[in-house]
Amino acid sequence: MELKELYQEIILDHGKNPKNKGQCDNFNRQAKGHNPLCGDKVHIYLKLNKDQEVDDISFEGEGCAISLASASILTEIIKGKNFNNSKKIIKNFLNMVKNESKIAINNLTKDQQTTIMSLSGVKQFPMRVKCATMAWHTLTSALEGKEKNE
- Contacts with another protein by CB under 8 A lie at 1, 3, 6-7, 12, 16, 37-41, 62-66, 125, 127-128, 131
Closer residue to another protein, CB minimum distance, 48 or 66: 66
8 Å CB contact between 53 and 46: no
State the minimum distance, in angstroms, from the CB of residue 69 to another protein: 10
CA torsion sign for 31, 36, 87, 13 is: positive
How many Å apart are CA 78 and CA 8, to the nearest integer? 21
Whole-number Å distance between alpha carbons of 6 and 104? 20
Q: Least distance from C-beta 128 to another protein, angstroms? A: 6
40 or 56: CB nearest another protein: 40
Whichever of 65 and 94 has its CB closer to another protein, that residue is 65
Q: In whole angstroms, how large is the CA radius of gyration of the chain? A: 14
Q: Least distance from C-beta 75 to another protein, angstroms?
A: 19
Residue 132 CB, shortest distance to another protein, in Å, is 12
Q: Which residue, 57 or 121, has its beta carbon nearer to another protein?
A: 121
List Cα–Cα distances, 45 to 2, 8, 92, 105, in angstroms.
Answer: 34, 27, 21, 24
